[in-house]
A and B are shown apart, each in its own frame.
Chain A
Amino acid sequence: MPIGPRPKRAVFLGFGWGVTEKTWLPDAMVTGADYTLPPGLAPLARHQRDFTVVQNLTNKFANEAHWGSTFWLTGANRYAEPGQSFHNSVSVDQVIAGRLGTETRFASIQLSSPDGVANGHGPGLSMAWDPRGKPMAGLETPVLAYHRMFSDETMPLERRQAMLAQQRSVLDAVLTDARQVQRGLNKTDCDKLDEYFQGVRDIETRLAKDEQWLGVPKPKTSLAEPKPGLAGRDEIELMYDLIVAALATDTTRVITYRQPVVSLLASLGVKIAAHDMTHYTSDERLAASQRRDLAQSELLAGLLDKLKATKEPDGSSLLDHTVLAFGSNIRTVHYLDNCPTLLAGGGANLKLGHHVVLRHDTPLCNAWLTILHGLGIQADRHGDSTGIVAGLRA
C-alpha cells in the first residue's frame, strides 16, 4: 500500500519570564546561516541546522510586564472591548486545530502547569484560547496527560456504547435546565451562559468522536505510566516525551505546553524567586537565570532528538512534519519587545538553520501567519498581523 503524504503537526512551547537576553539572543549583527550560537542556546548546537532564531518579533499591544503567555499566541489587545477590563482572541494553535484536528482523536492537546501568575505566564489556563477568546483548560500534570491520551479502556464495547447513549441523555437533561435558566437573562448574562452551551456542544463533539473511535483502541505507547509528583526538570522532560508519543501515535496533531518555571528552578536547586531571577541585578540572579536558560535549552534539545529519532512510515522523521515554536512574550526583565522566538521542524516549510533579524517591532503574529500558510491554512490574518514574513519561508 502506498504511503500517503504524512500529516502536519504543530507544537507551541511557552515559558514565562523570558530569557537572559545577553546570553540567549545571538549577536544581531551576524545573521544568516553562519551565526554563532550564544551560550544559552549552546545545548542545541547539534540541531542548529534544524531551527531558526528570529529577532524583533513583538506583540504591539502587550503592556503587562509579567504576562509571558496570555497574548503570546493571540496578539490581542487586552483593552479592545469597551466595557471590559480584559479581552483576548483565538490563539494560533486553535486556528490550526480547527483544520488539522478533524482526523485525530483529539483536535488539540493543551499541556499546562499550575499557577500561571507565579510562573510569569499571566492569566489563562493554558497557552490556548478558544475562537471566542476564552481560556482553555490544560492538563496540568504528566499523569493527567497520560491518562487522557493513552489509558486503556477496560470497558467492553457494548457497555461503552450504552455509556455514550447515557452521556447524551445527561447532556439533554442539563440542556433542558440551561434553556430554562437562559429564558430570563439579559444579553450579557446570555453570553456568559453561552459558555455552558458551548461546553456542552464541545462534549457532544467529543462524544461523536468517541463514537467514531469506539472500535479503535487507544494507541499503544512504549511510555510507562508516569509517577505522580514529578516536578520541574523531570516534569518537563516527561511532558516532552508525552508530546512525542502523542504525535507519533497520531493521537493529536496540535499541542501547546505552558511550561513551569518556579518548579524548574527548584529542581535545579535555585533558591531565588522566579520573578526576582528575571531582574538579574546580582551575580547570583544572573547565574540562576542562565542556569534556567541552559536547562530549558537542554530539554528542548532532548525533545528535538526524539522527534528526529521517531520515524514515520515513509522513513522520514516526525520532526520533518512538525513545526515547533519555543518562546515567550517576555524577552527579559520587563521587556516585551523582541520576544525570544525559536522555530524548528519541517512542518511549515520554514527556512531553518538561520538567524533572522527582522525590522524592529515586526508583529509576532506575522510569524504565526507564516506558520499557518506553511501548514496550508490560507488565513488572511491572525491577531494584529500585517502579512507573512517572507524571510522565514524556505
Chain B
Amino acid sequence: MKRLCLAAMILLSCRPAQAADAPSVRLDEAQRAFFADFCIECHGRETQEGKLRLDNIAFEIQTVEQADRWQKILNALNSGEMPPDDSAQPDRTRKTELLDTLSQTLARARKVIGDQGGLITLRRLNQREYKNTIRALLGVEIDVRDLPADGGIGTFDTVGASLFMSSDQIEQYLAIARRALDEHFHRTRAREPRSLSAREEAEVIGNKRMNSLYERTKQMHDNYVRWTTAVDEAAQRPENVAKIDQLKLDAQKLSGASASPRAAPLLYYHLWHQIAGAPSPEEFGFHDSQAALFEELQYRLHYTYYADYQQLPGRDRGAWLLFYQAYRETYVSAGESWPAGRYKLRLRVAANDAAPPFRRFIEVGQRGDDPSDFTVFSAHQVTGTLEQPQMIELSVDVGTRGKREFAVREKRPNSRKAEINIFADEVDRTGHGPVPAVWIDWFEIEGPQPEPYAASVSLIASTHDRRGAREVIERFARRAFRGATPSAEYLDRLVGLFETRRALGESFEDALKEPLSVVLASPSFLYLAEPSTAAGQRRLSSFELASRLSYLLWSGPPDNELLALAASDALHSPGVLAAQVDRMIADDRSREFASGFMHQWLGMDRLEFFQFDYRMHRQFDDSTKAAAREEVYRTVSYLLRENQSLTRLLKSDFVVVNAVLADYYGLDGVRGDEFRKVALPPGSPRGGLLGMAAILAMGSNGQYTSPVERGEWVLRKLLNDPPPPAPPNVPQLSRLDGKMLSVRERLKAHQEEPQCASCHRKIDPIGFGLENFDASGKWRTEDIYQLNPKTSKTWPVDAAASFYHGPSFANYFEFRDIIESNADAFAHCFTEALIEYALGRPYGFLDDELAANIIHRARANGFAMREFIHALVSSEAFCSK
C-alpha cells in the first residue's frame, strides 16, 4: 500500500521540466585575483598576447567556444607554459586552488553543454541483448564476437547515441541469423529422444603415457651414463690427459648466455670427438651429442617427477592429473554424428590432502594447442577422496559447428610459461615437482538433454506451401518485433524471398531460412523504436513499456506474461508494473542486469587490461578472477532478490561467494561451486565492494597496487566526487625514478607540484586506506618493492591517512566506516548510473529531480535495493518517450 502511494506521489512530482534552463556554470569569482596578479600584464586591456584577454573574460561558461577557451587556459597552466618562467609565479597553494576549481568547473560545463535535454535516442540492441534475444526467440546460443564492438565512449552499452550501425554490421546480422536458424532447425529435427554417451577411463590414457615416459627417461639416462662413462674412461688415457683441462675450459665457452645452469656441466661431452678413443653417442642410441645432452637434461628435470608418479595410489582405477606437462588434461568427445544440443558431462574425481587447498579445483573446458589456449567453461571444487570419490556433473552445449572435445585439468594460471616456472620453482625448493592434486576415475559425456531454452515461437508450418510459409514468417516477425506489426508489403517481400529460394530447388525449410534471417536483420527487430513526432513527451505504449522493462531487467525481450499484459494494456497500472518488477527480479534472467550494469558501471573491463604476475599472485588465476568478478554480480543479485540495503555494498557482515573465493579469502567450511551467502567472522576485512578481490585487483597493474587507481575509483563510484579526467601535457615527475621508495614516499611527490596536487591531494589518501590489500586483493601487512631482480625492500603497510578536508583514519576498518557513513553519496552514484543505464542516455541536469525522488523513496526504506528500481520504473521518465 505504502509503495502505491509513493509511486503516485512521484508521478505527480516528476512532471517533465520542459522549460527548465540549463544550470549556470561559472568559475568562482574569487579566482579573478589570480588572473589579475599573474596574467593580465600580457593578456589584459593593453596587450593581448595570443589574442587572449583575461581581465574581462566571462566566468560563466555556456558555449562550446567559451569552454574551448577555458580549456586552452587550463592546458597552458597545466603544462607549465603559463605563466612564463621569466614572470612572477603564483605560490603553490594559489595555483593548486585555481587548477582544482577550473578543472572541476570545466568538467561540469562540458557536461551541461553536452546535455541532451532528456532526449532518449533510438537505440539498437547491443551485443548482450542481441544474443539474449536470439536465444529467447530460437532457443540457440550464438557467438556475437563477429559483430563490431558496441560504442565505448565511456557510456553504458544501452546508450542509443553511442551505438552505431554500419554495412558490416548489417551483413554480420544476416550471417549470424542464418547460422542461428540452421542451428534451430537442426535441433528441432533432432528432438526425438536418444541417449548417446562416451566415457574415457583416465587410467587407460594417463597411466599408459606416464609409464612409457618413466621407462623411456630411465632408459635414456642409462644410455647416457654408459656413454659418458666410456668417454671419461677414454679421457683417462695418457694421450688425452694433457688436453682435458683445456677441453673443460672450451666447454665453458660453449655455454654462453643461452645455456641454463642445469645444462652447463653436461656441455663438456659435446667435445667427445676431440678425445682420442671416445665412443660416439650413436653407439649408445643417440642421434648425436646434442640429443644425448637433451635426454639427460630431461632426466635431470623430470625423472623424479615421473618416478614419484609411479608411487601414487589409486592408479589401478584412475589417474592423477599433473600440474606440469605429460598428463595435464584428460578429455572426452561427443561423436561426430551426434546431434547438436545440450549434453551432460560427468566426471568422478578425488583430491589429494597433501596438495594445498587452493589447488584442489578442476577446470572444465576445451583445449587448444597449448595450455594457454585452454578455454575454461567452469571451475569446480574437488572434495572427494580416493575412498569416496565425488561426482561432478555439468551441462555443455554441442553445436553443429565448433569443437566437440571437452577437457578437464587442474585449475591453474593460463600460460605455458607459468607452468614451466612454477614447476621449476617447486623442483628447486623441494627436489620434487608439484604434488598432483586431483585424481580422476573417468570422464563421460551423455545426451542430448531436453533443451533448456525453449524457442518462444514455433517455426513449424501447417502446410508446406506459400500460405504455410507466409503464416510462419508472419508469426515469427510479430514475435521478433515485440508487438510492432510488420507491414503487408514487408511480409510480401519476405514471402517473395522464400519463393525465389523454392524456385531454385531448395527444401521448404531451407527456403524459409532466408526470409526469417532477414527478419532478424530488420530495423523493427534490431532497434527499440519508440515513435514520437509530436513535440514533448508522450506515454509509452504498453508494448514499448514491456520492452523497456525487459531490456532493463533481463537485457532480453519481453516474455509471454509481459506481452499478454501489454496486449491487454494493463502494464501501465502501478500495481501491475510493480508486481512485474518483483517477478522479473526473482527470475534468473535478472542476473543479466546485475552483471551488465555492475560490470560497466564499476569499470570492471579494467580487470582484463593486464595479466596478473603468476609468481607474485599465484592463486589469482583466470578461474579465480572469474569468480571474483562473479562475486560482484552475485552480491547485487542477492541484495536485489532479498531486497536488502544498497549500503551492504559499502560494508557487510556477509559475502556471496563460492568455494573458489571462500578459499581465496580464507573462509572455512564453504564447499561447492554455487555462490551463496556466507557469514563473515568478526574483524574480517571482507564484505562490501572495498573488500572484494575484483575491485581491489582493478586498482593494480597486475603486480603492484595502484593507490591512484583505487582512490580515483572510490571518489568516482562511492563518494560521488569524481576527479576531472587525467589532464594532458602535465610535466611528468621524474625526480624519484629508480629510487627505492615505498608507495607513500613515492606518491608524496604529487604534493610538490600544483598541477598534480590539485587532484591527487584528494585521490592518494583514499588509496592509502586500501594498502592492506595487495594487487590481487589478498590481505597483507607488509609491502615489498622490487627495484630489480636483485634488489627489493620491505615496509610495514601503513593505511592511516586523512581525507582531503575530511576525517582521519588509523586503518582500513576506520576508513571503511567513514565510506559507509557517506551512504547518501553512494546512493547518488548508484542512482545516476541506474538512470543512465535504464533510460539509455547520459544523466543530465534535468534528472536531478528524478534522482532526488528515487533516493528519497529508497532512503525511506533503508536504501532497500528494489526500491531504487521500483521508483525508477514507475517514474514518468521511464514510462515516457
Which residues in window 75-104 of A have CB below 8 A to B? 77, 79-86
Interface-side segment among A293-301, A331-339, A365-373: A331-339
- The answer to whether A79 and B114 have CB atoms under 8 Å apart is yes
Bound form: Cα–Cα A279–B706 in Å: 13
Given contacts A62-B728, A83-B114, A169-B496, contact A195 B737 (CB under 8 A): no
Find residues 326-364 in chain A having any chain B CB closer than 8 Å to their own CB. Answer: 333-337
B170 touches A203 (CB 8 A): yes
* A178 adjacent to B114 (CB under 8 Å): no
B396 contacts chain A at the CB level, 8 A cutoff: no
- Among B116, B148, B154, B174, which residue has its beta carbon within 8 angstroms of that of A170? B174
Interface residues of A in 95-133 (CB under 8 A from B): 114-118, 123-125, 130
- For B111, give the chain A residue with the smallest CB separation: A85
A271 CA to B737 CA, complexed, in Å: 19
Please, how many angstroms separate the alpha-carbon atoms of A183 and B490 in the complex? 14
- Report the separation of the CA atoms of residues A84 and B174 in the bound assembly, to the nearest whole angstrom: 31
**Contacting residue for B64 out of A65, A79, A281, CB 8 A:** A79
Asked if B114 contacts A118 (CB within 8 A), the reply is no
Interface of chain B residues 482 through 524 with chain A (CB within 8 A): 486-487, 489-490, 493-494, 496-497, 500-501, 504, 514-515, 518, 521-524
CA distance A282 to B155 in the complex (A): 33
* B119 interfacial contact with A, CB 8 Å: yes
Chain A's nearest CB lies how many Å from the CB of B742?
Answer: 14
Cα distance A184–B610 when bound, in Å? Answer: 46
Q: How far is the CA of A3 from the CA of B507 in the complex (A)?
A: 52
Residue B104, interface by CB 8 Å = no
Pair A281/B174 contact, Cβ less than 8 Å: no
Within B126-178, which residues are at the interface with A (CB < 8 Å)? 148-149, 151-155, 160-162, 164-171, 174
Segment of A185-193, A232-240, A312-320 engaged in the interface with chain B: A185-193
How far apart are the CA atoms of A58 and B493 in the complex, in Å? Answer: 52
Give the Cβ gap from B768 to chain A, nearest Cβ, in Å. 19
Binary contact track A139-179/B, C-beta < 8 Å → 1, others 0? 00000000000000000000000100010011011101110
Residue of B nearest to A84 (CB): B114
* Alpha-carbon distance between A86 and B152 when the two chains are bound, in angstroms: 11
Find chain B residues with CB under 8 A from A166 CB. Answer: 497, 500-501, 514
- CA gap between A166 and B506 in the complex, in Å: 14
Which of the segments B251-259, B529-537, B639-647 contacts the partner chain? B529-537
- Inter-chain contact B149/A125, CB cutoff 8 Å: yes
Interface presence of B605 (CB below 8 A): yes
A176 touches B114 (CB 8 A): no
Interface pair B152/A173, CB less than 8 Å apart: no
B524 x A180 contact (CB < 8 A)? yes
Q: How far does the alpha carbon of A123 sit from the alpha carbon of B111 in the complex, in Å?
A: 18
Residue-wise, chain B 92-128 has the 8 Å CB interface mask toward A (1 for contact) of 0000000000000000001101111101011100000
Q: Is the CB of B727 within 8 A of A83?
A: no
* A65 and B487 in contact, given A170-B514, A189-B121, A284-B788 (Cβ under 8 angstroms): no
Residues of B contacting A124 in the complex (Cβ-Cβ under 8 angstroms)? 152
Contact indicator B64/A170 (Cβ below 8 Å): no
Please determine whether A281 and B153 come into contact, CB atoms closer than 8 angstroms.
no
- Chain B residues with CB under 8 Å of A266's CB are 611
Please judge, given known A-B contacts A281-B737, A283-B788, whether A65 and B726 are in contact too, CB under 8 Å.
Answer: yes
Query: How many angstroms between the C-alpha atoms of A337 and B611 in the bound complex?
Result: 30
Bound-state CA distance A77–B72 (Å) is 13
B703 within 8 A of A: yes
**Whole-angstrom distance between the alpha carbons of A134 and B164 in the complex?**
7
Whole-angstrom CA separation of A64 from B605 in the bound complex: 19
Do B609 and A118 touch across chains, with their CB atoms under 8 A apart?
yes
From A162, A185, A189, A202, contact of B167 by CB (8 A): A202
In the complex, B245 has a CB within 8 A of chain A: no
Query: Which of B531, B725, B730 is the one whose CB lies under 8 Å from A184?
Result: B531
A189 and B493 contact, CB distance less than 8 A: no
Q: Across the interface, do A84 and B148 meet the contact criterion of CB distance under 8 Å?
A: no
> Size band of the B side of the interface?
35 or more
Known: A79-B68, A176-B487, A281-B734. A181 touches B152 (CB 8 A): no
Q: Interface centre among A86, A170, A177, A181, by most B CB within 10 Å? A: A177
> Is the beta-carbon distance between A195 and B523 smaller than 8 angstroms?
no
CA distance A85 to B110 in the complex (A): 8
A273 part of interface (Cβ distance < 8 Å): yes
List A contacts of B71 (CB < 8 A): 63
Residues in B with CB closer than 8 Å to A178 are 522-523
Interface contact B527-A199, CB-CB below 8 Å:
no
| A86 touching B166 in the complex, CB below 8 Å, given contacts A169-B497, A185-B533, A334-B727 | no
A308: interface (CB < 8 Å): no
A199, A206, A333, A337 — most chain B CB neighbours (10 Å): A199
Cα(A162)–Cα(B166), bound, Å: 24
Q: Is residue B274 within 8 Å, beta carbon to beta carbon, of the partner chain?
A: no
Q: State which residues 215-252 of A face B: CB under 8 Å.
A: 229
Cβ of B842 under 8 Å from chain A: yes
Cβ contacts under 8 Å, B436 to chain A:
none
Interface residues of B in 37-59 (CB under 8 A from A): none
Instruction: Closest B residue to A334 by CB, please name it.
Output: B728
Q: How far is the CA of A85 from the CA of B523 in the complex (A)?
A: 25
Partner of B611, one of A82, A83, A189, A271: A271
Which residues of chain B have C-beta atoms less than 8 A from A262's C-beta? 609
Which residues of chain B come closer than 8 Å to A281, judged between CB atoms? 732-734, 736-737
- Given that A83-B115, A206-B167 are known contacts, is A184 also in contact with B726, CB under 8 Å in the complex? no
Taking the complex as formed, is A16 at the interface, i.e. its CB lies under 8 A from any CB of chain B? no
**In the complex, per-residue mask of A49-78: 1 if CB is within 8 Å of any chain B CB, else 0:** 000000000000111111000000000010
Question: Which residues from A are CB-within-8-Å of B788?
Answer: 283-284
A145 CB to nearest chain B CB (Å): 13
For B609, the chain A residues whose CB sits under 8 A away are 118, 262, 273-275
A42 at the interface (CB under 8 A from B): no
Given A199-B165, A202-B166, A335-B729: A193 and B490 within 8 A (CB)? Answer: no
A213 on the interface (CB 8 Å rule)?
A: no
Q: Are B493 and A200 in contact, CB atoms less than 8 angstroms apart?
A: no
CB contact under 8 A between A193 and B523, given known A82-B113, A184-B531, A271-B613 = yes
Q: A79-B64, A172-B493, A334-B728 are in contact. Are A177 and B487 (CB under 8 A)?
A: yes
Q: Contact at A189–B529, with CB atoms within 8 Å?
A: yes
Q: How many Å lie between the Cα of A188 and that of B120 in the bound state? A: 9
Give chain A residues whose Cβ lies under 8 Å from the Cβ of B64. 77, 79-82
Closest 4 CB pairs of A and B: A184-B531, A273-B610, A202-B167, A189-B122
16 chain-A/chain-B pairs, Cβ below 8 angstroms = A65-B727, A82-B64, A83-B116, A85-B111, A116-B149, A162-B504, A170-B174, A173-B493, A180-B524, A181-B529, A185-B531, A189-B529, A192-B161, A282-B787, A284-B788, A334-B729
Q: A residues bordering B, Cβ < 8 Å?
A: 61-66, 77, 79-86, 114-118, 123-125, 130, 134-137, 162, 166, 169-170, 172-174, 176-178, 180-181, 183-186, 188-189, 192-193, 195-196, 198-200, 202-203, 206, 229, 262, 266, 271-276, 279, 281-284, 333-337
